[in-house]
Amino acid sequence: MDEIALIQAARGGDLDSFNRLVLAYQDMVYSHAYRMVGEEESADDATQTAFISAYNHINSFRGGSFKAWLLRIVTNACYDELRRRKRRPTVPLEPADEAGEEVESARWMVDPTEQPEDQVERQELQNAIQHCLDNLPEEFRAAVVMVDVQGLDYFEASQASGKPIGTIKSRLARARLRLRDCLNGFSELLPSGFRLK
Amino acid sequence: MKNQMTARDYELISAYLDNQLGSKERAQFEARLKTDLMLQKELHEIGNTRLMVRSLPKLRAPRNYYITSKVTSGARETPLPIRRSLRLAPTMGIVSALATILLVLVIFGDKLLSTTGPVALAPAPIAPQETAVIQEQAQSKEAPSEAPTEAAPVMLMGAPTMASPTPPAEELRIGETGIPTPTTVYLNAFPPTSTPEDRETLSDRQTEQASGCEEYAGSGINPTSPGLVCATPTATSPLFLESLLPSSTTTPTVTATPTATVMLSPYLENLPPTWTPTPSATPTSTPTSTATPSPSPTPSPTPTETPPAVEVTQITGEGAAAGITAQSQDQGPAYPAQAGEQPTSTTPTGPDISFMSYVILAIEVSLAVIAVIAGIAAIILRIQAGR
DSSP A131-197: HHHHTS-HHHHHHHIIIIIS---HHHHHHHHTS-HHHHHHHHHHHHHHHHHHHGGGGGGS-GGG---
Q: Does position A107 have pLDDT exceeding 50, yes or no?
A: no
Q: How far does the CA of residue B97 sit from the closest CA of chain A (Å)? A: 29
Q: Phi/psi at B250 (nearest 5 deg)?
A: -120, 135
Residue-level pLDDT at B100 = 93
Please report the residues numbered 39 through 98 in chain A whose beta carbons come closer than 8 angstroms to any beta carbon of chain B.
Answer: 40, 44, 47-48, 51-52, 55-57, 60
Q: What is the mean pLDDT of residues A2-18?
A: 91
Q: Does position B313 have pLDDT exceeding 90, yes or no?
A: no
Q: Does position A161 have pLDDT exceeding 60, yes or no?
A: yes
Q: Does position B297 have pLDDT exceeding 80, yes or no?
A: no
Cβ <8 Å between B58 and A190: no
Q: Does position B254 have pLDDT exceeding 60, yes or no?
A: no
Q: Which residue has the higher pLDDT, B28 or B115?
A: B28
Distance CA A21, CA A73 (A): 14
Which of A93-107, A118-132, B246-260 has the highest average model confidence (pLDDT)? A118-132
Residue-level pLDDT at B368 = 94
Residue-level pLDDT at B325 = 42
Local confidence band at A116 (pLDDT 50, 70, 90 cut-offs): confident
Q: What is the mean pLDDT of residues B208-237?
A: 51
Q: How far does the CA of residue B90 sit from the closest CA of chain A (Å)? A: 20
Which of A99-113, A120-134, B252-266 has the highest average model confidence (pLDDT)? A120-134
Distance CA B185, CA B287 (A): 17
Cβ <8 Å between B75 and A144: no
Cβ <8 Å between A126 and B57: yes
3-state secondary structure of B240: coil
Question: Which residues in chain B have their CB less than 8 angstroms from residue A133's CB?
Answer: 53
Cβ <8 Å between B51 and A48: no
Q: How far does the CA of residue A99 sit from the closest CA of chain B (Å)? A: 21
Contact A150, A71 (CB under 8 A): yes
Nearest CA in chain A to B56: A126
Q: Which residue has the higher pLDDT, B85 or A147?
A: A147
> Does A140 reach chain B within 8 Å, measured CB to CB?
no
Q: What is the mean pLDDT of residues B7-36?
A: 94
| Residue among A19, A27, A172 minimizing CB distance to B58 | A27
Q: What is the mean pLDDT of residues B160-168?
A: 46
| Residue among A30, A52, A108 minimizing CB distance to B75 | A52
Distance CA B195, CA B202 (A): 11
Local confidence band at B158 (pLDDT 50, 70, 90 cut-offs): very low
> Does A133 reach chain B within 8 Å, measured CB to CB?
yes
Q: How far does the CA of residue A110 sit from the closest CA of chain B (Å)? A: 11
Strands of chain B (E only): list them: 185-188, 228-231, 250-251, 261-264, 286-287, 311-314
Q: What is the mean pLDDT of residues A108-114?
A: 58
Residue-level pLDDT at B355 = 87
Nearest CA in chain A to B66: A19
Distance CA A86, CA A146 (A): 23
Local confidence band at B334 (pLDDT 50, 70, 90 cut-offs): very low
Residue-level pLDDT at B340 = 44
End-to-end CA distance of chain A: 51
Local confidence band at B316 (pLDDT 50, 70, 90 cut-offs): very low
- Of A122-126, B85-89, B101-105, B369-373, which range is least confident? B85-89
Residue-level pLDDT at A88 = 72
pLDDT tens figures, B64-113: 999 887 766 554 434 444 555 666 888 888 999 999 999 999 999 888 88
Contact B213, B327 (CB under 8 A): no
Q: Does position B320 have pLDDT exceeding 50, yes or no?
A: no
Distance CA B171, CA B259 (A): 8
Distance CA B177, CA B237 (A): 9
Across the A:B interface, residue pairs with CB atoms under 8 Å apart total 122
Q: What is the mean pLDDT of residues A110-123?
A: 72
Local confidence band at A66 (pLDDT 50, 70, 90 cut-offs): very high
Distance CA B79, CA B332 (A): 88
Closest to B53 in 3D by CA, of A120, A148, A27, A175: A148
Distance CA B276, CA B271 (A): 12
Cβ <8 Å between A183 and B49: yes
Q: Does position B329 have pLDDT exceeding 90, yes or no?
A: no
Neighbours of B56 (CB within 10 A): 18
Residue-level pLDDT at B136 = 56
End-to-end CA distance of chain B: 51
Question: Please, what is the average pLDDT of chain A?
Answer: 85
Q: Which residue has the higher pLDDT, A1 or B79?
A: A1
| Residue among A15, A108, A129 minimizing CB distance to B53 | A129
User: What ipTM score was computed for the predicted complex, to two decimals?
Assistant: 0.83
Local confidence band at A101 (pLDDT 50, 70, 90 cut-offs): low
Q: Does position B33 have pLDDT exceeding 80, yes or no?
A: yes
| Residue among A15, A28, A173 minimizing CB distance to B67 | A15
Residue-level pLDDT at B14 = 95
Question: Which residues in chain A have their CB less than 8 angstroms from residue B10's CB?
Answer: 173-174, 176-177
Q: Phi/psi at B287 (nearest 5 deg)?
A: -70, 135
Residue-level pLDDT at B281 = 42
- Of A30-44, A183-197, B280-294, which range is least confident? B280-294
Question: Which residues in chain B have their CB less than 8 angstroms from residue A108's CB?
Answer: 60, 62
- Of A130-144, A181-195, B118-132, B324-338, which range is least confident? B324-338
Model confidence, pTM? 0.47
Q: Which residue has the higher pLDDT, B273 or A59?
A: A59
Residue-level pLDDT at A94 = 53
Q: Please report the DSSP string for B50-61 in residue order.
A: HHHHHTSPPP--
Which of A66-70, B200-204, B295-299, B350-354 has the highest average model confidence (pLDDT)? A66-70
Cβ <8 Å between A31 and B75: no
Local confidence band at B216 (pLDDT 50, 70, 90 cut-offs): low
Among A149, A168, A190, A197, most B C-beta atoms within 10 A, so best to mutate, is: A149
Contact B69, A15 (CB under 8 A): yes
Distance CA B183, CA B236 (A): 10
Q: What is the mean pLDDT of residues B35-45?
A: 93
Interface of B with A (CB under 8 A): 7, 10-11, 13-15, 18, 20, 45-46, 48-67, 69, 71-72, 75-76, 78-79, 386-387
Maximum distance among all alpha carbons in chain A?
56
Size of chain A in residues: 197
